[in-house]
Every structure is written in structure tokens, then in C-alpha cells.
Amino acid sequence: MSELLNPAFWEPFGLTIKLAFITTLFLYLVGIPIAYYLAFTKFRFRAVLEAIIAMPLVLPPSVLGFYFLLAFSQNGFLGAFWKDIFGHQLAFHFDGLVIGSIIFSLPFMVHPLLSGFKAMDKFQIEAAHTMGKSKFQTLLKVILPSIKSSLATGGVISFAHTVGEFGVVLMIGGNIDGETKVASIAIYNEVEALNYSMAHSYSLILFAFSFAILWLVYVKLGNDVKGSFHA
Amino acid sequence: MLEISISKKLLGATGIIDFEVTCNFEKGEFWTIFGESGIGKTTLLRMIAGLETPDNGSITMDGEIWFDSKKRINLSPQKRKVGFVFQNYALFENMSVLENLLFAQPNKNITKAEEILEVMGLLVLKERLPNTLSGGQRQRVALARSIAQEPKVLLLDEPLSALDAMTRSRLQDELKKTHEIFKLASLMVSHDRSEVFKLSDQVLWLKEGKVFQKGKPKEIFLSKTSSSKFSFEGEILDIEKRDIIYVVTIGIDKQIVEVVVDEMEVKELQVGSIVNVSTKAFAPIIKVR
Amino acid sequence: MNKIKALIDTIETHDGITRVLLTSGNKKLTAITLELPDFFQIGSEANVIFKETEVGIAKNLSGEISFSNLLQGTVSFVNKGKILSKVNINVDGINIGSIITTNAVEQLSLESGDEVKVFIKATEVSLEEVL
């Protein structure tokens, strides 16, 4: 058990939490406008947009990871663009992990928000409009406070899903200590190295952590959330 | 004055309705939009508020054009200054009663908001969240909130329909009182004749999407086709032959009455039919309870 | 319900009470109402309606009577019940029904073919727009 005292052991967990936290934050910024648009705007290619957002639910993470890798590398369009601005490519870098995770976990944020928006009492929105409030003011002051449980659901599930991510990270992140080696990758490494006791330590902690999150979710949010796991 | 002359094709319960209404509403008048459900009463209010768009025509408020299909003007609901009391009240559940009013005000003014709550007997509830209020209280908060908007016209979509008979009757009195204090041009949708009679100065009676009649409630409701003064709508619950006459049992609102009819008349009557029951003003006997 | 189509001759209003005089053939009819709807005008047609239970019958009537509506007819058919009876009277081709007590039918010994007078109180007569 001496490894528990070694800071290097904890590093992958720190990275995992950091990744999940930043991803969730950005998912709110991206997910709220997308879900709002899907819920309140009539447009022709709604089904196309909805299908694209739901793709990560059905695609093997390796497929997604493979395309991310192509796009994020120095020659890929996103990677090149990123390098021009930030001086490093996206693949094999923490930034790449964040972007990959955002896209990969998008449906887990958008779906709860979308159902929240759709269940919203339309008359409250219209009432706010007759009071001279703009759509943005209405979103901020009336709609978002009314869908608190959907916001919490989306956040928790996106967070948990990012913590549990493996395939995409492996494909685009590689395995760099302190940069892209998150907890799930660390387990894989230890198993590869036939270092089962370390793998056990990582797994048990991840197991306990995930259980704690879900338990909290079920206690605090109850039925609002449960349905979303089957999304 | 609110001047309306609009048309719109509506999808009603019985197919497409050509909705076509022209009417002027004076400031300080309480109007009721009366008629069967599904003929566009609510849609009319929504078009005035800018929540729906007419196909053709114009809506003008005190000379300001809110909608004009020819000039391609269509002001957003935000710019029209209407107070809208929705059927479900649409209170903001995350805000207290006072916050609901403050949110509605064009310029936040706690003193003014509290004055309105005071007048309507709601001041003691100002810190409460809407979901802790009774139906009648919620209705009053919705009304107070729309007044706080300082609207040019107040639109009420069946504001009392969700309440029990007792509360409804009490709130009718209160609505009348409130109207007399604030003197807004008010348009209320209702299909309850007694409510219309009690509250409104003017009635706009719509039938199949068109204006069927408009005028004072007394003129409209009492002079339909007969000179009877004692007239009610009811549903036939039972028809029974007794001796050589027939006794028809009719449910009127929450009362049940029996009416004697002749065998020739009974042929036209069926259980379940909606009928008008009337007698002359000379016949009924009134007793003080 | 009895219904006679008639022409409005006179409308006389005082203090919110209106007396309407009508003619149907050679019959004179009177109705008393409160405010009269606008569509009832002198010269316009109206249905005079009244319930069978408001119609009285007299045989060999002599003397004077306060009823404003007095019609002359012939009994065409009597339908006797235990307590109530329906008497149909032909008044110039128009059928007027009257529901009176069987006791009264027997007292007057009403039979078809009898010449009778029919009367209705003016306050029990309603006017209906002819549609």
C-alpha cells in the first residue's frame, strides 16, 4: 500500500477530475445553446443535427478517437489551426482530451437539457416576453432556474461519463504522464505491465468514486436523473 | 383605444375556420370574448399580444401600429405593452410573489409593487413562492403581476376557469373591483354566461370565427330569440311519462330541475340534448331563505 | 307548447312593461312582457307561444272574464288520464292543446265536437322571433 503515499500514483486521478471538470464546464456553454435551439426553433434539418449529436452514443469510441486523431494531429485541420494559435498540436495534449471529451459527452449534456426545455411551461416564457424581456433575459431569469434538475442531471452525467472515458482518450491522448494519462489509462498501463496490484488500487478507487457519484445522484436528484442514463 | 381588424385561417376541432374579427375596444371598458371553445377566442388574445401572427389585417393601439400586414409591421410581444393572464397563470415558480411583480415591471419599483399587492390583499404573501399558494391566490398574483406591467391593455384567458365555484364567484367580484381601480382596457375570454354578465361592460360574441353579436351583455343575452326573461341552458338528464304528461329532468349548472311538457313536444327531445329552459318573468316565485 | 303565428298590431310600453297586441286571422291576442327585444316591431311577425298547462277551457260561458286572450274553438279530441287530461281544440284550423284536470273534463263533460272557449292569461304568453 506504500504506493498510495506516492504523489505520482494520484496524478492520473487529479488529471481525470480536472478533465471531467473542464469538460463539464464547456459542455454547459455548448450544450445550453444547442439544446435551446433544438427545443425552441423550427428548422428543416433538425433530425440531422439530432443524429449527429447522438452519434457518440452508438459509435465505438475507437472510431471516434481515430477521426479525432486525424483531425487533431499537426496535419489535421484542427491540429494545424491549434498549433498556429497555441503553439502545440491537439493530439497527445490535454487540450485535445478536453475537446474530444466535449464532443464525446455532448449527448449526455444535450439530452437532459433538451427534455428540460421541452417540459418547460411555454406560457411562462410567453409571459416574460409580454413583460418586455428579451429571449436571452428570459433564458437566464426564467428558463434556466426552472430546469435546475435538468442542469444538474446533465452536469453530473457528463462529469461521470468523462471520468469513465477510455477509448477516445487512448486513441488521441496516448499515455503521457501528467499530461494525458488519466485514471482509466493508468489501469490499462498497469495491466499491460502485469502489475496487478497497482491496477487493483486504481480500479478500486475509480470504482468507489463512480459509485459515490451515482449514489449521490440517486439520493439527491432521484427520478429526474435515472431516466437519462438510458439515453 | 385598441382597434382590431384581422383575419387568420385556424385549424379548429371541426376543420379549418376562417377567423375574421373587427372590433374597437375603448380604454376602461371591460370586454368579454364569448363563444364556444375552439373558435379562436384565445387565439384572438394571443394575436393582440403578438404571440401569434394574423394572416391579414391590422392591430392599432392608441394610434401606434402593432400589426399591419400591408405595411409589413409586426411588433414583437416585448414592444406591445400588454398584460396577459394565462389560463395556468404562468407564475415564475423560482421567484417569490414580490419578485414576480418586480420582474414584470418595466422599471423595478418595490414601493409600487407593494402598493399593488396591498390593494389586492396579497401583501402578506409577498415572500411566498407560488407553489405554496392556493389556486385563488395564484390567480390573484397573476392578475397583480399583469397590472404591475403597466400594460395598455389587459388580456385575460379564462382566468377563473380552473377554480371551484365559490372561489370563482369571490374572484369575479374582486376582478370587477380591480378593474374599477386600475381602469385598463380589459379583454377576457369566457364561456360562462353568468360570469360575462357579472363582469363585462361589453361582449364580443364569436361564432364560427366571426363576430356573431357585440354589445352590452343584457342586450345580447336576454334578447336572443324570445321575450322570455327567465332563461337557462341545460342538459336533458331524463324524460319520463307520468299520466298524460311528460316530465323532463334537466341539469342546469349544478341544479336539477323538472319541467312538464306535452307529448307533442317530447318527440323533439332526447336525453343528453342541450336545451334552453325558459319561462316568463311573471311566473317564478322568489322566497327569501 | 302551443304556437300561433301572428302579426304585431300595437306595442305599448310603460315603465319597462310592454303590452303587445297581435292578430292571427280574426283572432286577437295579447302578450305582456318586460323589455321587448328590438326585432319585434309593429307589422312584423311573431310566434305567440304558451304552455298547454296555461290554457283554460270554458263551456257555455256567459258573463265577463279578465283573460285577455279568448279564442273560440271545437274540441277535436280528449285524452283522459287519471289526474290530468289533454284536450285538443281546433281554433280555425289551428290546434290548441290544453292540459287540465280530469276532474274538470268530467265536470264540463267535455267531448269531441263541443263548442268551447279557450283562454290564456296575457302574462303567460311569450313571443318568439319567427326564424
Of the residues B204, B222, B240, which one is the last residue of a structural domain?
B222
**Strand-pair partners of C98:** C87
How many CB atoms are located within 10 Å of the residue B78 CB?
17
Q: What percent of chain B has pLDDT over 90?
A: 43
CATH number at residue C104: 2.40.50.100
Interface test with C, best of B263, B280, B282 (most C CBs within 10 A): B280
Distances (CA, A) of A54 to A19, A111, B76, B216: 21, 9, 35, 59
Q: Which of B48, B84, B108, B153 is most worth mutating to test chain A (most A CB atoms within 10 A of its CB)?
A: B84
Placement of cell 433530425 in the chain = A47
Burial of B87: CB neighbours in 10 Å, binned 0-12, 13-18, 19+: middle
Q: Which residue of B has its CA nearest to A137?
A: B103
Mean residue pLDDT of chain A comes to 86
The yes-or-no reply on B/A contact (3 CB pairs or more, < 8 Å) is yes
Enumerate the residues of chain B whose CB falls inside 8 A of the CB of residue A134: 78
d(CA A220, CA A222): 6
**Out of A16-25, B1-10, B236-245, C108-117, least confident range:** B236-245
Q: Is B133 in the same domain as B247?
A: no
CB atoms C33 and B263 under 8 Å: no
The percent of residues above 70 in pLDDT, for chain C, comes to: 100
pLDDT at B227 over 80: no
State residue A1's pLDDT score. 57
Q: What whole-number distance in Å separates Cα of residue B137 and Cα of residue B131? A: 10
**Placement of cell 486504481 in the chain:** A202
CB contact under 8 A, B149 and A130: yes
String of DSSP letters for A67-97: HHHHHHSTTSHHHHHHHHHHSS-STTSHHHH
Strands B153-157 and B82-85: parallel
Indicate whether B112 and B142 sit together in one domain: yes
B37 neighbors B191 (Cβ within 8 angstroms) = yes
The position carrying cell 290544453 is C98
**What is the structure's pLDDT at C15?**
80
Percent of chain A with pLDDT over 90: 32
Q: Which of A6-10, B178-182, C47-51 has the lowest mean pLDDT?
A: A6-10
Chain-chain contact of B49 with A123 (C-beta, under 8 angstroms): no
Please state the rounded mean pLDDT for residues A27-43: 92
- Residue B287 domain flag: no
User: Which of the two residues, C70 and A1, has the higher pLDDT score?
Assistant: C70
Q: Do B238 and B199 share a structural domain?
A: no
Using a CB–CB cut-off of 8 Å, the residues of A that contact B are 121, 123-124, 126-134, 141-142, 145-146
- Which residue, among A120, A121, A125, A130, would best test binding to B if mutated, counting the most B CBs under 10 Å from its CB? A130
pLDDT over 50 at B21, yes or no: yes
CA distance A94 to B101: 48
Report the pLDDT averaged over residues B106-115: 92
Nearest to B226 among C99, C123, C126 (CB): C126
Considering only residues B225 and A9, tell me which one the structure prediction assigns the higher pLDDT. Answer: A9
Query: Across the strands, what pairs with C73?
Result: C116
The answer as to whether B37 is a domain residue is: yes
Residues B166 and B263 in one domain: no
pLDDT of residue A231: 38
Q: Quote the mean pLDDT of chain B.
A: 87
Residue A202 sits at φ, ψ, to 5 deg, of -60, -45
Alpha helix locations (H) across chain A?
Answer: 7-40, 46-58, 61-72, 77-86, 94-119, 122-130, 135-138, 144-146, 148-163, 167-173, 183-192, 196-220, 223-226
B229 vs A200, residue with greater confidence:
A200
Q: How high is the pLDDT of residue B228?
A: 59
Number of domains chain C contains: 1
Answer yes or no: do B153 and B50 share one domain.
yes
Bridge partner residues of B274 (DSSP): B235
Domain match, B148 and B63 both: yes
- Confidence grade of residue A230 (pLDDT, cut at 50, 70, 90): very low
* Lowest mean pLDDT across A92-96, B57-61, C112-116: A92-96
A227 pLDDT above the threshold of 70: no
Q: What pLDDT is recorded for position B229?
A: 65
Do B33 and B164 have their domain in common?
Answer: yes
Average pLDDT for B151-176: 85
pLDDT above 50 for A228: no
Q: Sorting pLDDT into bands at 50, 70 and 90, what band is B110?
A: very high
User: pLDDT tens digits for C100-114?
Assistant: 999 999 999 999 999
Which of B202, B222, B242 corresponds to the end of one domain? B222
Q: Do B229 and C1 touch (CB under 8 A)?
A: no
CB contact under 8 A, C35 and B260: no
**DSSP codes of every residue in A163-186:** HT--HHHHHHHTT-TTTT--HHHH
Q: Which tens digit of pLDDT belongs to each residue from B254-286?
A: 778 888 888 888 888 888 888 888 887 777 778
Q: Which residues of B touch A (CB under 8 A)?
A: 49-51, 76-84, 86-88, 90-94, 103-104, 106, 149, 151
Q: Give mean pLDDT, residues B44-50.
A: 94
Count how many domains chain B has.
2
Read off the pLDDT of each residue in C38-58 and give the average, rounded to a whole number.
Answer: 89
Same domain membership, residue B274 and residue B145? no
Give pLDDT, residue B91: 95
Same domain, B8 and B121: yes
Average pLDDT over residues A19-37: 94
Res. B232: pLDDT tops 90? no
For chain C, say whether B268 makes contact (Cβ under 8 Å): no
pLDDT band of residue A2 (cuts 50, 70, 90) is low
Supply the ipTM of this predicted assembly: 0.78
Instruction: Please state which architecture CATH assigns to domain A2-230.
Output: Orthogonal Bundle (1.10)
Cβ-contact A180, A174 below 8 angstroms: yes
Q: What is the mean pLDDT of residues B178-189?
A: 88
In Å, how far is B46's CA from the nearest CA of chain A?
10
**Does pLDDT of B237 surpass 70?**
yes
Domain that holds residue B249: 230-279
On average, the pLDDT of chain C sits at 90
CA angle (B25 as vertex; B24, B27 as ends), nearest 5: 140
Segment B76-108, tens digit of pLDDT: 999 999 999 999 999 999 999 999 999 999 999
Q: How buried is residue A143: exposed, middle or buried, by Cβ count under 10 Å (0-12/13-18/19+)?
A: buried
Across the interface, do A126 and B76 touch by the CB < 8 Å criterion?
Answer: no
- Per the structure, the complete domain to which residue C84 belongs is given by 2-129
Phi, psi (degrees; rounded to nearest 5) at C39: -75, -5
Per-residue burial over B266-283, b = 16 or more CB atoms within 10 Å of its CB, e = otherwise = beebeeeeebebbbbbee
Using CA atoms, how far apart are residues B126 and B141, in angstroms rounded to an integer?
A: 9
Residues 6+ away with beta carbon under 8 Å from B256: B237, B249, B250
* Min distance A142 CA to chain B CA atoms (Å): 7
Last residue in a domain, options B192, B222, B252: B222
Q: Pick B77's closest partner by Cβ from A121, A129, A142.
A: A129
**Is there a domain that residue B286 lies in?**
no
| Residue A223 pLDDT class (50, 70, 90 cuts) | low
